[in-house]
């Protein structure tokens, strides 16, 4: 199924509303990572080159709906767009009841989450947003799993809708890695809690040839195997589920590999005194904060054999250099592999940036929750909208 894209439409002199995901991290009002802004530039430039009057919508953070909060203003994003595009960019604060835009102009509409009803997918708000333009472009893959007014509702009522280049590239990359992947498929799922990723882990156990778990998630599996995890983060309530998943993997002729050695400390700090211990020798006061060198070597063997790699989450507390070596070795193994590698999630992208391997990953998804949900469902409700009869190519 092919979706109508921005490149397929006549945009000359039309008001084009582009829903991007420009939810970038900020510290003291300064953007600390511009990846999502950079990813939107292709779409914005394409629309302008086709003679459109372009209005960009996005959310930023999670402000109280219905109220303006300068902390969550898109002003820093507008400033970054001005610098990168080298053109004037105007921020419009009060836009929901209509706004003026000149031929060939680029404007940014203030944070959609300042509008009451955005997250509830208000029908009234959806209709208002849709009425403001001639074409509505869905390019915000990272929010595509949410039925919000600006990501779903407005698409139902817009005069003409299409998918943006970023959205299409995300879907195409995910389908390549998930729909008919070249085998063997190896998935690495890390993070702090199994409960937040139980659905994806359950799906992947039956879907991939080899599942690797890391971080606090791995600690829960270690505990489920009857081993001591000391004072490490794990979820006692999920032990039964972990045992079931290990049995499911075994039943299909695979395993969820347990660490053979781990890096431990008594506290989580940058100057912690670390030790490498056999998994059998973890003591009650220990915190497991990374995989050990033998475990890294074992897991890299699985990665080296893969033809498709799905990566979501670190295998240790990589933000601290003393606990980063395991994630670094896994990251470099993925980077050095000839496999098609698909990575997504905020922590994963942070690790990719830290270890400077972005150019060696086949595709880095801008989505976190969207990335995980697509892995589970292979679609989103918004894709079903974009695939309706009036939009589908014949």
Which domain CATH number covers 15?
3.40.50.1260
Identify whether 391 is part of a domain. Answer: no
What pLDDT shows up at residue 388?
62
What pLDDT shows up at residue 282?
98
223 & 358 share domain: yes
Taking only the tens of pLDDT, the chain with its 394 residues reads: 578 899 999 999 999 999 999 999 999 999 998 989 999 999 999 999 999 999 999 999 999 999 999 999 999 999 999 999 999 999 999 999 999 999 999 999 999 999 999 999 999 999 999 999 999 999 999 999 999 999 999 999 999 999 999 999 999 998 888 888 999 999 999 988 888 888 889 989 988 999 999 999 999 999 999 999 999 999 999 999 999 999 999 999 999 999 999 999 999 999 999 999 999 999 999 999 999 999 999 999 999 999 999 999 999 999 999 999 999 999 999 999 999 999 998 899 999 999 999 999 999 998 878 888 888 887 888 988 887 644 433 2
CA R_g for the chain? 23
196 & 146 share domain: no
Pick the closest to residue 43 from 66, 23, 20 (CA basis): 20
189 & 138 share domain: no
Backbone angles phi, psi at 333, to 5 degrees: -65, -40
Edge to edge, the sheet with strand 106-109 lists 90-92, 106-109, 53-57, 15-19, 135-138, 161-163
14 & 124 share domain: yes
CA distance linking residue 8 with residue 1, whole number of Å: 15
Identify whether 54 is part of a domain. Answer: yes
Token pair recorded at residue 226: 């009857």
Identify whether 362 is part of a domain. Answer: yes
Sign, CA dihedral 83-89-91-96, equals negative
Instruction: Classify residue 195 by its DSSP letter.
Output: G
User: Which residues are catalytic, by number?
Assistant: 36, 193, 346, 369
Domain that holds residue 279: 180-377
Identify whether 393 is part of a domain. Answer: no
Pick the closest to residue 296 from 269, 338, 265, 328 (CA basis): 328
Residues written for the chain: 394
270 & 151 share domain: no
239 & 159 share domain: no
Instruction: Classify residue 140 by its DSSP letter.
Output: -
163 & 63 share domain: yes
Token pair recorded at residue 223: 């505990």
159 & 184 share domain: no
Token pair recorded at residue 40: 């939107």
184 & 82 share domain: no
Provide the whole-model pTM: 0.85
Identify whether 173 is part of a domain. Answer: no
128 & 151 share domain: yes
Identify whether 10 is part of a domain. Answer: yes
Token pair recorded at residue 317: 């507390």
What pLDDT shows up at residue 385?
85
Pick the closest to residue 74 from 55, 87, 47 (CA basis): 55
What is the number of other CB atoms lying within 10 angstroms of the CB of residue 141? 29
Pick the closest to residue 107 from 127, 85, 126, 131 (CA basis): 85
What is the number of other CB atoms lying within 10 angstroms of the CB of residue 58? 26
129 & 192 share domain: no
| Contact status, residue 34 vs residue 193, Cβ threshold 8 Å | no
| Count of the separate structural domains present in the chain | 2
């Amino acid at each position: 199924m092919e979706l109508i894209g921005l490149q397929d439409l006549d945009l000359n002199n039309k008001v084009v509303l582009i829903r991007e995901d420009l939810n970038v991290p900020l510290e003291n009002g300064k953007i600390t990572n511009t990846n999502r802004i950079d990813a939107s530039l292709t779409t914005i430039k394409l629309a302008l080159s086709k003679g459109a009057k372009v209005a960009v919508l996005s959310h930023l953070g999670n402000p109280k709906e219905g109220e303006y909060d300068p902390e969550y203003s898109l002003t820093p994003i507008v400033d970054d767009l001005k610098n990168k595009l080298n053109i004037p960019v105007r921020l419009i604060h009060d836009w929901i009841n209509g706004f003026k835009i000149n031929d060939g102009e680029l404007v940014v509409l203030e944070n959609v989450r300042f509008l009451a009803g955005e997250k509830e997918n208000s029908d009234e708000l959806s209709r208002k947003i849709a009425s403001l333009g001639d074409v509505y472009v869905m390019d915000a893959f990272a929010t595509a799993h949410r039925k919000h007014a600006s990501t779903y509702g407005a698409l139902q009522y817009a005069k003409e809708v299409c998918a943006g280049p970023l959205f299409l590239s995300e879907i195409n990359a995910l389908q390549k890695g998930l729909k008919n992947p070249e085998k063997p498929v190896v998935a690495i799922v890390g993070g702090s809690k199994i409960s937040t990723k139980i659905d994806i882990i359950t799906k992947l156990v039956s879907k991939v040839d080899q599942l690797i778990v890391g971080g606090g998630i791995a600690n829960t599996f270690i505990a489920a195997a009857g081993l001591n995890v000391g004072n490490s983060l794990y979820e006692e309530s999920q032990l039964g589920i972990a045992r079931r998943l290990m049995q499911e993997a075994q039943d299909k002729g695979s395993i969820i590999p347990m660490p053979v050695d781990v890096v431990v400390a008594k506290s989580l700090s940058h100057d912690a005194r670390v030790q490498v211990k056999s998994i059998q020798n973890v003591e009650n006061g220990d915190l497991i904060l990374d995989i050990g060198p033998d475990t890294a070597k074992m897991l890299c063997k699985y990665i080296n054999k893969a033809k498709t790699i799905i990566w979501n989450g670190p295998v240790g507390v990589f933000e601290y250099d003393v606990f980063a070596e395991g994630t670094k070795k896994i990251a470099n193994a993925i980077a050095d592999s000839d496999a098609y590698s698909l990575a997504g999630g905020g922590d994963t992208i942070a690790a990719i940036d830290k270890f400077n391997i972005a150019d060696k990953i086949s595709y880095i998804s801008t989505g976190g929750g969207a990335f995980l949900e697509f892995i589970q469902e292979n679609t989103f409700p918004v894709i079903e909208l974009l695939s309706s009869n009036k939009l589908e190519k014949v």
